[in-house]
Amino acid sequence: MELLLVRTALAPSLVLLASVIARRLGPRRGGQLLGAPTSTGPFLALTWLSSGPEKTAAAAHGTVTGTLVVACFCLAYARLAPTRRPAWTLVLTLAWAAVAGLVGASCGSIWLTAGLTVAVIGAGLLSWPATGPSCPPPSRTRRWEIPVRMALAGATVVTALAAATALGSFVGGVLSALPVLLSVMGTSVHRTAGAPAAQEMMRGALTSAAGTLGFLLVLCFAPVPLGPLAAFLLALAALPTGDYLLRAAQHA
């Protein structure tokens, strides 16, 4: 019963927090939270509780592939948003992200997938399109949007857990990392606050993806030798470390 409550409550709660942050502090901050392991973290923790460290490591490998998809999604959406309506931007971005997912899944090596992800993040931030003045938070949000976002977050985690049972931990990990929440929140912000605000959200998510990648790589290799508590603590330490290294590289 307790595990079921965690499954249904943790990820939606994180999405609620991201929605509040995006409204109060601006879309970039909300994007940074969505780029963090808000779905993959709960999924991996629940995989650990239900299946043990070996399955958790395999699932983390899948989430690295999903992180490549997220990075490509952010970059493509930011490029397309200024010239297209939200719906068309999303459709074209999802097509590009699907190609990235196929490339990542066919790599075979986790280090090659991670290297591609780092390359996309670095190249994307270095060539980021200008967004003009800083974007204000969205001025209005439809009453149903936040509950829908929360429901999608919970459904993403539960679906990924079911897929991990039926299709294997790697597939479940890929599904848990897909940019479902960014798709919903990005198009919502695009519609209510304009393309520059959506670009800011995608930039925040892309920036956070570096720390998320470090978090996931730790969980690929640390669970079996270190045990659950030490592995997750080390993975959490990788989040700010990845962000720090990315900032240092940008100012080098």
Reported as a single tens digit per residue, the pLDDT across 119-172 is 998 888 888 876 555 445 444 556 666 777 677 766 766 666 676 667 777 777
Residue with the larger pLDDT of the pair 225 and 103: 103
Indicate the burial class of 90 (C-beta count within 10 angstroms; 0-12, 13-18, 19 or more). Answer: buried
Rounded Cα gap, residues 110 and 115, in angstroms:
9
Chain CA centroid to CA 11, Å:
12
Quote the pLDDT of residue 246: 67
Q: What's the pTM value of the predicted model, to 2 decimals?
A: 0.79
Of 2-16, 29-43, 147-161, 173-187, where does mean pLDDT reach its minimum?
A: 2-16
Enumerate the domain spans of the chain: 2-130+138-251
As a whole number of angstroms, the distance between CA 34 and CA 46 comes to 19
